[in-house]
Structure formats: C-alpha cells, structure tokens
Amino acid sequence: MVPERHVLVVFGATGDLAHRKVLPSLFRLDRSGPAAGRAIVLGAARAGLSDEEFRASVRKSLIEHGENPEDAGEWVSRSVFFQSLGDTGPGAFATLRQRIESLEKQHNLYQHRIFYLALPLPAFPPTIEAFGASGLNRSKGWTRLVVEKPFGHDLTSAQSLNALVHRFFDEQDVYRLDHYLGKETVQNIIAFRFGNSLFEPLWNRDRIRQIEITVAEELGVEGRGSFYEKAGAVRDIMQNHMMQLLCLTAMEPPSVLDGNAVANEKVKVVQAMEPLRPEDVVLGQYAPGTLNGKSLKGYREEAGVSPESRTETFAAARLRINNWRWQGVPFFLRTGKRLPRKATKVVVTFKAPPAAVFNPYIVCGMEGNRLEITLQPNEGFNLSFQTKIPGQGMKLETQEMRFRYGDTYGALPEAYQTLMLDVMRGDRTLFVRNDEVELSWERFAGVVDGSLPVHEYPAGSWGPAAADRLLASDACCWTDL
C-alpha cells in the first residue's frame, strides 16, 4: 500500500532520538519502497535554527550513520524543513500551523499530517494541549499522533495522559510506539506460532513446562544516569518491551491481522495475568565488578546517580496467566544492565517425556525439548532435541537445529523504519492501544511504588542470587544464555 502524501512534523527534532533513529529511518523510507517521495519532513524544536542550519545537522547525522553524502544532501534539500517553537507558547503553535499550511500549499498536499513526539515524558501534556488550542489536532484530511514510550510512569499518570490525548485525538489516530514491535524477529513470533501446525498444537499448558523472556544488556547507563534514576529497569524495559513479548508469545490467534484484532488478544492476556506480588519479583542494582577482564564501576558511581540510589538496574519476575491455555505454566521475565552479554530471547521449555526406559542411557540429562527464539543479536531459532550417540548403544544426548535470519535474508530492516511506514499507511497492528497500556501499569502497581528491596549484584554477573529463588518452586533454573 502506497501512503498518501503528507507533512510529518518531528517535535524534538534537534534531540538525540530524532537524529539517531527517526530522521535516518525517514531518509531510508524515502530512498526506496512505497514511501519514496511521500513525506515532507518539518523539524520542530525550541532552537532558533534556519532551514539550512537544520538541514546541515541532519545531513551530518545521516553521514555519521553511514549514508551516502550525495543522497543525504539531495533528500534534506528537497524534503526537510525546520520551524522554531521558541518558548513553545500558544503563538508558537499558531505560527507552526501557518508553516504547515504553507508547505502543504507549496507541495500540493491535502492536509494529511503526522505529528511525532520525540520528546521527554513531561513535555507530552503541554504539547498535546497546544495541538488543541491551535486547532492542529484536526484537518481536512487525516491527522496522526505518534507517541514514544514510556506512556506514563505509573497507572495514574497513564490514565491522565490517555484522557488528555482523547480530548483532542480519536484513539484510532494515536500510535503509541514501542520500537520492539518494529523488529522483524518480534513480529515473526506471530508467524512462527500461527503459521506452523507443528508448534501451535503444542503451545499450551499440556506440553509446555515454562517460558522465559530475557532482555540482557552488557552496558551500564552510559551517561544517562539522571534519566535512569527516574525510570529503572521495570519502567524502562519490563513493563513495556517485555510485556509486548509476553503478549505475543501467549495470546490467542487473532481473527484477522489488524490493529484492533491483535490488540484485543493482547489485552486478554494482560486481563488474565495476576497482579505481581512482592514474592514474585526480585530487583537488583549493579555494584563494582569485572567483565571480560575490565573493571567496572557500580551504578551509584555513575554520573547523575545518587550515592544512596535505590533505583533498580535489574528486575526478575514470575508471572501467572490464569486462562485455559496457560493455567499453571510459569512465565519468567528478567532484564538487567551490566550482565555478561547482550541478548534478547524467548525460551520455551517443553515438558520432558515420560521416558523412563532411557534412564540408564542418558548422558546429559533427559530434558524436555527447548525452543529458543533469539531476537537480538544473531536473530533466529534454536530447537533442541534428543539423539542417540552412534556406536554407544542407546546412549542419548541433546543436539540442536538452528536457523539464522542473516544467513537467509541478510540485514533486517531497522525497527523505526518499519513502524514509520505503518504510521504512514495508517496500520496500527504494531502499536499499543490505550487499554493495554493501563492494564499493564495496573499489573505492575506493586512493583513501581518503591517498596521492594533492591539487591546488589556484581557488574558482569547474571544478577542477584535472589533471582534464582523465583524458579526454585518449579524445580528449574534460568536458561544459560
């Protein structure tokens, strides 16, 4: 589907997110495919820049991201403009509206508009209010609002923000962006589950023992200490990114692949999930340690971090989904910074067969088959199974079948590129609906209130030892990544 021609306004256009992700993705969409030549990009920020000054900064960013200088220069000269918002008062948005209308007239566009908020969370409410005051929330064509996560910082703030957005925009015009949903490997969870008759009949409590979802990072806060102090691992990763992975892994097949049908099934998963109890959660914070022979400082020693900080850099949780498919199957989530390696995986462990006949011959332990869905890096699948060792009687050991996306398809599209094309097309399948956001915050209410203890763990380890107790009652352990 070819998107209709439109003006795309990037708020916070001089910031890191815009230059690192949003603008490079818009450039790549313009170079090939159905979105080529479909968007006029208007950067908006407080800075008092001219069109040419902003274009020079965008051109520099694109070149730093490996783009061809000649192609970058051609695109910014043809399609990129800038409007200063100054103090962002009412007059600034009236002027912004005039500039948008001028560009639409100049380029013969029919008032189709996308507003992308590449802004910090506190800037969302005044910006959305300004849309209403200036009339920018409505047009003769369509108007779409793109909001980056986090959408609120708890249930109350999420509800307030949703109410504010709905004062000025219809829900069908709101695109809550979680970049994890733009990853090809995340979307492929749906294709893998529902497109293969080999796995779908086994995807239930009768055949699956446990499911683990891990988002591990080698890096620390990398100069973002002041931001992370207000977020922490639960708000930054678990409540949004990991909940999306859980919902796609656990949901029922949608009737059709569109935004509302997929959202309906994801919401049912969260509705069936028990609120997290204190005994279901372990929080941690990295202390000084060593990784790959390099000494690493602790979180409290990072710039912008309080020396008495209780902000968690690690979180592990045991979740229960009380529906027909998943009753009794534990879902284990863990995420953390300064872990031994970067990895995002969904690991499905099937129940072991009742194969007592093999007990005298097992070499490595008779385990259930295991499916590892690797979302990054080295994207692909591993499926473990038991084989007989040749020439040694009936001795068994575990082997794996492997598939890697890079071997078959080469480089995968960048997540923001996928999501921005969907916004242009009006496809909300990969975006998060308002009720899903609020339900998720509700389930995590007892985890983000600051009442839980925070355990230290050495940087370079797999987190605090206390996280192992979450799995102890199920007689299992975290999968070795």
pLDDT 10s digits, 270-285: 999 998 888 899 999 9
Residues contacting residue 446 through CB under 8 Å, at least 6 positions apart? 275, 276, 277, 278
CB 366: neighbour CB atoms within 10 A?
A: 17
Long-range contacts of 416-420 (CB under 8 A, 24+ apart): 416/21, 416/22, 416/24, 416/25, 416/179, 416/182, 417/25, 417/28, 417/29, 417/182, 418/182, 418/183, 418/184, 419/177, 419/179, 419/181, 419/182, 420/22, 420/25, 420/26, 420/29, 420/35
pLDDT at 363: 44
Partners of 113 in beta bridges: 7, 143
Phi, psi for 17 (deg, rounded to 5): -60, -45
Give residue 356's pLDDT. 56
> Residue 367: is its pLDDT beyond 80?
no
Which of 65, 112, 241, 455 is labelled catalytic? 241
Residue 358 has pLDDT above 60, yes or no: no
Q: Do 30 and 138 meet the contact criterion of CB atoms below 8 Å apart?
A: no
Nearest to 263 by CA among 254, 271, 276: 254
Domains, the chain, ranges and CATH? 6-148 (3.40.50.720), 181-413+433-472 (3.30.360.10)
Q: Residue 456: which pLDDT band, with cuts at 50, 70 and 90?
A: very high
**In this structure, are strands 294-296 and 289-291 parallel, antiparallel, or unpaired?**
antiparallel
Cα-Cα-Cα-Cα dihedral of 236, 242, 244, 247, to 10°? -150
- For residue 387, the one-letter residue type is T
Report, in angstroms and rounded to the nearest whole number, the Rg of the chain calculated over CA atoms: 24
- Whether residue 396 is predicted with pLDDT greater than 70 in this model: the reply is yes
Q: Is the pLDDT of residue 209 over 80?
A: yes
Model confidence over 144-160: pLDDT tens digits?
999 987 788 889 999 99
pLDDT at 55: 95
Q: Which amino acid is at 14?
A: T
Q: What is the mean pLDDT of residues 109-124?
A: 91
Assess whether the previous peptide bond of 377 is cis (omega < 30° from 0).
Answer: yes
The average pLDDT across 195-223 equals 90
Q: Cα(first)–Cα(last) distance of the chain, in Å?
A: 40
Sign of dihedral through CA atoms 408, 412, 413, 419?
positive
The SS3 of residue 97 is helix
- Give the model's confidence band at 352: pLDDT under 50 very low, under 70 low, under 90 confident, else very high: confident
The answer on pLDDT for 463 being more than 70 is yes
Query: What's the chain's average pLDDT?
Result: 88
Q: What average pLDDT does range 205-230 have in this prediction?
A: 89
Is residue 241 part of the annotated active site? The answer reads yes
**This prediction's pTM:** 0.89
Question: CA 433, 437, 438: angle at the middle one, nearest 5?
Answer: 120
